[in-house]
Structure 1
């Protein structure tokens, strides 16, 4: 993988191993849990994802070998609790970047399908249980644009920058009810 911007920001996934790791739903959920809750132990991740600790440990090894997670610094108060963290805040890839490598193209499509299915499931779950004030402020957009391939690439970079600016900001200690918010964006050529 190569970094696009400052270390820890959005990375362009360009290795089959990383794509294959992301194509497993439990691994995708572990990545989500680390993104939302920050560094965590194997047992805590197993609880969040709903898998056995041994399974979580296996998935974390696969994610680490793929360069997607790494060991977090040890807490001196408990050296027995190893923690894991994400390597980057976000990832991006497209099946097209692997056009000359069929196995990689297939892995990219599989990872994309897992992520899209999870995003749609989460959106449906929110719609089924939306509550005030969140149902008043949740965003749903639908916009048709006319862009060249270069302009679409620039739009993607600008969206990454905007979302990461919100992720990097200092969160005020003002007592406001803040919740984990999923912002997912897809932009692609299509016809009505």
Structure 2
């Protein structure tokens, strides 16, 4: 369903900026409103966006994201080659988006206040965990993120900015990281 670049961009725009019309989205994403309308309807069929009622909206249709994040388990799609291809495409898009976000931040760094330059960042950690420990780690990370999101939503603070947080816990296949194949 999301294996179309405009659909990913539409969903991202609605999540970041809130409800909008197809015309507004087309302007923001520099595309045409016909394509935008078509892809919004496709996203609605999949339950990813919803039409929003607005008083005095006339003929304008307002759309909003149905969820504020996407998450899936690969195991849920292993029996469906098309769905697995879509999962792989989405994960590739996420990695590409991470690279774009990092580059944009690095380009903007010289103009940012020192406290913002030092607040964010990228770190890597090498852990040796079993499956249960990895699952527990990712659950706990998700809980921490959910707690901060709820607090930010309930009590917005002056000077708050949108933050893109990527969490990835991938078993290393690199011997340089201490990986040794087990027979």
What TM-score do you get using the length of structure 2 for normalisation?
Answer: 0.83
Q: Secondary structure at the match of 1:71?
A: strand
CA gap 1:171/1:106 in 2 versus in 1, 3 angstroms: same
Q: 2:38 aligns with which of 46, 53, 58?
A: 58
Q: Greater Rg, structure 1 or structure 2? A: 2
Name the structure, 1 or 2, with higher relative contact order (CA <8 Å, separation 6+): 1
Structure 2: state its 5+ residue gaps: 178-183
Distance 2:169 2:22 in 1: 35
How far the C-alpha of 1:68 sits from its partner, in A, is 0.8
Greater CA deviation, 33-42 or 158-167?
158-167
State the shift of 1:26 in Å: 1.8
Deviation (angstroms), 1:167: 2.1
RMSD, matched Cα: 1.8
> Would you say the 8 A contact 1:96–1:105 is kept in 2?
no
TM-score between both structures, scaled by the size of structure 1:
0.79
Task: Report the Cα distance in structure 1 between the residues aligned to 2:128 and 2:55, rounded to whole angstroms.
Answer: 54
Q: How far off is 1:41 after superposition? A: 1.4
Aligned residues of 1:23 and 1:114 also touching (Cα < 8 A):
no
Q: How many residues align?
A: 169
Render the CA deviation track for 1:34-86: whole Å, top value 9, x for unaligned. 111111111111122221111111111111111111112x2213233321111
> Tell me, which stretches of 5 or more residues in structure 1 are unaligned?
1-20
| 2:180 aligned residue | none
Which region of structure 1 is more displaced relative to structure 2, 89-98 or 140-149?
A: 89-98
1:163 positional shift: 1.7
2:89 to 94, 110, 114: 110
Counterpart of 1:100 (choices 79, 82, 88) is: 79
Q: Does residue 1:68 correspond to 2:48, yes or no?
A: yes
